[in-house]
Amino acid sequence: MPSVSRRYATPRSRFDRPSGQADEGLLAPVVLMVSGGADSTALLVLAATSALDIDDGRGTARIARERLHVLHVNHQLRGIDAEEDEEFVRDLSSRYGIPCTIRRVDVSALAAGTDGNVENAGRTVRYAEAARLANELSRELGTPRSAARIVTAHTADDRAETFFMNAIRGAGASGLSSIPRRRNRIVRPLLDRTHEELCEVLRMRGIVWREDDTNADTRYLRAYVRHELMPVIERRNPRVTASLASTCDILSDEDAYLTSVASRALRDLTRGEKDGLVVLDAGRLAALEVAIARRVVRQALLSVCPDARLEARHVAATLSIVAAGEGSVTVSLGVDVRVQHGLLVMRARRAAPAPSAAWLEVPGRLALSGSRELVARLLPVEPGSDPVGRARAHAREWDGESVLLDAQAAGVDPARGGRLWVDAPHPGEVLCPLGMHGQSKKLSDLLGEARVPLAERAATPVVHVSPTGSVVWVAPLRADERVRCTSATRWLLELTLVQR
């Protein structure tokens, strides 16, 4: 998703290499992710004025001002409030002499094109933009990318909340270890501090911060845990946040050890691999301790399809066919898993190419990807016949692969013919599905309810009245209510999706 990026320099915005400085790690950029809320505002202030441990080999120490760079991502979700957040972060960065980069991304549109989860889309965007900025700054400085640091303002409260969120969803040791102190270049130096402690730091310095009203919306799981669940638990144990911090550290250490054991086991069991394919020794996998076997399967599946959102049931289903010595299952994003001839084969399903945007002549044919084509015909309605009943019978007979619609409602002139525009689904696109009596629905929701895998959604042909016109048919899922046949229909538009 394209973003708008603006970098605001200050007199200290150039990273000049100090004379005689040899350690590239001490020169590498430190990207501070700042939203404008209390925690991230405190992060900016502490990074500029105090000592922090960013895991660069120096322990708790002052960070050279020349290394610091602020990143603010405007999700474009909150109108004027988001604009004011952006202005606040820019001004605060300037006050401390730290360069600031603003990036704007339409997170709502991005979420609509995936699973519809705005929280997940926003988090993905933030880390992607932070990684991109860290890489850009590393290139400017001539330092290794691995030496850069991306610093977030997660606190002990965030860690406790994430623990319960993952417990509610159902998670293993990795999820229950909650937020790690470091993951690759991402470090979290404030995990031992509470939100209230950081607020007090800001109050003592007379610094205000921005409040996001959505943080109080308990429809979001984190807000529910924060405002509904945590107060109840804290009444029983006021030190629950500190207690969970120790628990998470223990789980994190044990998870790291088991992960390393599983990684070695995976290497030993691998009999072949290439892009999108892993083959394991099924017999030896079945002989492993189940705790290690689960991790081996998870690592193998993610190596085949890094974007897969794995659940415990996916791993359990895989291990069940391993134990049986035969069988097949399909897991997240259409990854095919099967046991045959003593081998466990995991293969990613390659997404079919999206249909090229083109006109479909009526009558006429349009070739699509994957040896498919769309066929359009015009059929007259015989006097005295029932076009509505005929359309229903036709849909049942073809099981959705072909539809009969009102030609004139679709903008096709029966006397001269016409044409329709065929394209791939677009983020935010809506239709009025047939049978919903004019109610609108996001196209992404329709595809999700039809269980079309994310990797295959771009290959779904969508027929429109025109390039900017309304939807006629999402082939082969649903026609639009506005082009349905009625008793007044005189010409039928037949659209059929066929294999060549």
Nearest to 143 by CA among 327, 287, 318, 17: 17
Q: What's the chain's average pLDDT?
A: 88
Residue 55 DSSP SS3: coil
pLDDT (mean) for 158-180: 88
CATH number of the 244-347 domain: 1.20.59.20
The ranges of the chain annotated as CATH 3.50.40.10 are 358-499
Beta-carbon count within 10 A of 217 CB: 12
Nearest to 355 by CA among 371, 340, 336: 371
Residue 1 has pLDDT above 60, yes or no: no
Write out pLDDT tens, residues 376-387: 999 999 999 999
Nearest to 387 by CA among 487, 493, 495, 494: 487
Percent of the chain with pLDDT over 90: 63
At 403, list the tokens: 């539809």
pLDDT score, position 261: 97
Distance of alpha carbon 29 from the chain centroid: 26
Q: What is the dihedral of CA 462, 466, 471, 475, to 10 degrees?
A: -30
Beta-carbon count within 10 A of 360 CB: 23
Choose between 146 and 173: higher pLDDT. Answer: 146
Q: CATH assignment of 358-499, given 1.10.1660.10, 3.90.76.10, 3.90.226.10, 3.50.40.10? A: 3.50.40.10
Residue 350 DSSP SS3: coil
Spell out the SS3 assignment of 11-42. CCCCCCCCCCCCCHHHCCCEEEECCCCHHHHH
C-alpha to C-alpha distance for 305 and 277, rounded to whole angstroms: 9
Write out pLDDT tens, residues 9-32: 654 443 444 443 445 567 899 999
Q: CATH assignment of 4-153+188-236, given 3.40.50.620, 3.30.565.10, 1.10.3720.10, 3.30.2310.20? A: 3.40.50.620
pLDDT score, position 155: 96
Nearest to 283 by CA among 330, 340, 335: 340
pLDDT score, position 12: 44
The ranges of the chain annotated as CATH 3.40.50.620 are 4-153+188-236
Write out pLDDT tens, residues 255-312: 999 999 999 999 999 998 888 889 999 999 999 999 999 999 999 999 998 878 788 8
Write out pLDDT tens, residues 395-443: 888 888 999 999 999 999 988 889 999 998 988 899 999 988 778 999 9
pLDDT score, position 346: 93
At 223, list the tokens: 């807000």
Beta-carbon count within 10 A of 192 CB: 14
pLDDT band, very low/low/confident/very high, at 5 (cuts 50, 70, 90): low
pLDDT score, position 77: 85
pLDDT score, position 409: 94
Nearest to 404 by CA among 427, 372, 375: 375
